[in-house]
Structure 1
Amino acid sequence: MPSATAPLDFQEPVVVQLTDEERTTGELSLEHIGIAVSAMHRDGLVVLENAVDVAHMDAINTILVKDAEEMAKMESTHFNGNSVDGRPTGNMSQGPPLDPDLLFEDIWANVPASAVLSAVLGPKPHVNYVNGNTALGGFGDARQRVHADLFFNHAQFPFAVVANYYLVDVSPANGSTELWLGSHRDTSFRDHRNCPGAQAAKPTELKDGEAIKGELEFGIRDERLDARRQVAPPMQPTIRKGSVVLRDLRLWHAGLANPSADPRIMLAFVHTPWWYACPARVVLPASAEAAVQKWASREKHPVQYDAHFVPATLDHRKVKFDPNFSSANKGYLSMLPQNLGSGYVDDVSNY
């Protein structure tokens, strides 16, 4: 039996407990780097605990919790429905505040996370996407389809990793994300419901290069989920505030209902290799440019933001976030399976 689909003897995320010195200096021990990199390749996910000053998380959470109720009523807010039966899930996109005083380096360019990312993706990874995911309370047992955050033909090696920051302690009690550990190792675009080369096209699916007409067909095909469940069923983790969760973008997962009354907010920063040439840009105010340049030029584990700076104060509640994680590297694209179509890529020309 291939190792990628063999029954697994692990069902919990690997947690690397960082020391205070590792958190403040960014100098992880070789043992911790070894554990984290191995977990990323085996499981598709690792938790770096004690990686962030919790006071920084509290400051951002206070602002976003206050915003959440208002954003839930705004027409410009994007809700991540994608449920099997079409019911609302209470899962909405909610990005972080963009005031330069709130661009905390241990969230926007976390050094311990960057050390692991550099080992997995190569030196000086690029950030092409910054957003957040909020699970509002009061939506019963609604849930998203199991999916990976990919709309297009992609590689079968690590090409994008998201750094997630839960702003509070999370567990099934407040809607932690369902994870299918190890699913990234044996998956391709063929497993996606919206892959035109994998099955006959339906009216709600795309033809090659066309946009999906809705989100109901976005997700992993049922037969692949059934097969995976036999060797590695999904789980919902418990993760402490102050952690960074690194997740391979190919990993199957799903947003579940938040049974608590308070919104559960998680920030998301997608990193790609320096050579990948992702066309997406992070929209930031010009006042943030100095901080971005500092992160890119720092000596230890620099992080490069592919940013579009605008000379105005930005309302983080209304900024358009572009989930285009595709590549413009023609050499890389030529190495992908050519019988699956290119898939759906968001238009990035409307900033």
Structure 2
Amino acid sequence: MHLHTLELEGDELSASATQSVLRHFHDAGFVAISGLYTPQQIERLDRAFQKALEQHIQTHGGLEQLNKKTFGKNHIGFFPPLVAPFANVEFVAHPLLIPLLEKLLGPDFICCFYHTNTAYPGSELQPVHRDHPPIFGSALPIPHPPTHIVLNVPLCDFNEENGSTEVWPGTHLIVDSSEEEAAQLESRAAAMPSVRMNVPLGSAVLRDLRTWHRGMPNRSPHPRPMLAIVYQRACTHAEPMAIPKATWESWPERVRQIFRRNRIE
């Protein structure tokens, strides 16, 4: 979906546009909205991102050492500092996304996880996986409402050459009847249709963490970076992050409410 095609009422999506976005999310387990961020916003973020990523790689002994701990070769993740521009309101609590998250997770949802994923050139295929299983396992034989949603913000155009994520629509609704089935996603996914998360710079993607997906090989000469910010229902467990006091004081009250479970340092 492109923001320009969605009806706005003031600074929010209209009721019909909201219903359309939510219907797609509930059906597929994810939804992409292009045109949400300006090129200038992404450019500022990308400059800071590249510096933080380079520092992360250097302090951990280079890519070779990092690959001993990564989930798939040349798939690098790190926790960026929660300072500007990473902590800017448009990224941590975009005013068009907050009403959607409130309807999906409840008005008191929280955020305690801010990470990144970068597929470096030469990255290899990740195993098919979920980022979070159904919270009741197989004890509840029907799918429950969303409990954890990740916001992915690409910092470049995502395409099949640079390793756009592969996703299996509708798999957030699958409840595994046994641990054996949950461990056989690779063979099960091979028999099911998938799509690639091909989206332009400036997009935002919301994905239910139960949805099957995997990182793909980056065959381009450039890294493919993105943010990964997880929002969740207030009733679920969360490990707190450290938020600088200056950042906390710069945020409006609604953003503080979302990040209230974290440590202010």
Report matched runs for 1:1-351 at 5 Å: 15-18=1-4, 22=8, 26-75=11-60, 81-83=70-72, 89-100=73-84, 102-139=86-123, 142-150=124-132, 153-154=135-136, 156-157=143-144, 158-188=146-176, 190=178, 198-199=179-180, 221-222=183-184, 224-230=185-191, 232-274=192-234, 276-296=235-255, 303-310=258-265
- Residue 246 of structure 1, CA deviation: 0.2
Query: Which string of whole-angstrom CA distances, capped at 9 and with x for unpartnered residues, describes residues 40-60 of structure 1?
Result: 111000012222233121111
CA contact (8 A) 2:6 2:17 kept: no
Whole-angstrom distance in 2 between the partners of 1:58 and 1:169: 12
**C-alpha spacing 1:55/1:241, structure 2 compared with 1 (3 Å):** same
- Residue 100 of structure 1, CA deviation: 3.9
- Residue 101 of structure 1, CA deviation: 5.4
Query: Where do 5+ consecutive residues of structure 2 fail to align?
Result: 138-142
Whole-angstrom distance in 2 between the partners of 1:287 and 1:234: 43
Whole-angstrom distance in 1 between the partners of 2:28 and 2:134: 22
Higher mean C-alpha displacement, 152-161 vs 258-267: 152-161
What secondary structure sits across from 1:132 in the alignment? strand
- Residue 69 of structure 1, CA deviation: 3.9
What secondary structure sits across from 2:45 in the alignment? helix
Amino acid at match of 1:92: I
Question: How many residues are paired up?
Answer: 255
Higher mean C-alpha displacement, 73-82 vs 30-39: 73-82
Higher alpha-carbon Rg: 1
Amino acid at match of 2:70: G
Query: Which string of whole-angstrom CA distances, capped at 9 and with x for unpartnered residues, describes residues 88-129 of structure 1?
Result: x20111333433455221111111111111111111321121
CA contact (8 A) 1:18 1:51 kept: no
What secondary structure sits across from 2:60 in the alignment? coil
Whole-angstrom distance in 1 between the partners of 2:134 and 2:60: 27
Query: Where do 5+ consecutive residues of structure 1 fail to align?
Result: 1-14, 84-88, 191-197, 200-218, 311-351
Amino acid at match of 1:256: M
**C-alpha spacing 1:152/1:73, structure 2 compared with 1 (3 Å):** farther
Give the aligned CA root-mean-square deviation in angstroms.
2.8
- Residue 144 of structure 1, CA deviation: 0.9
**C-alpha spacing 1:175/1:296, structure 2 compared with 1 (3 Å):** same
Whole-angstrom distance in 2 between the partners of 1:304 and 1:26: 22
Amino acid at match of 1:17: L
Amino acid at match of 2:22: V
Higher mean C-alpha displacement, 174-183 vs 67-76: 67-76
Whole-angstrom distance in 2 between the partners of 1:255 and 1:45: 16
CA contact (8 A) 2:134 2:175 kept: no
What secondary structure sits across from 2:187 in the alignment? helix
Normalization by structure 1: what TM-score? Answer: 0.65
Whole-angstrom distance in 2 between the partners of 1:66 and 1:189: 45
CA contact (8 A) 1:162 1:249 kept: yes
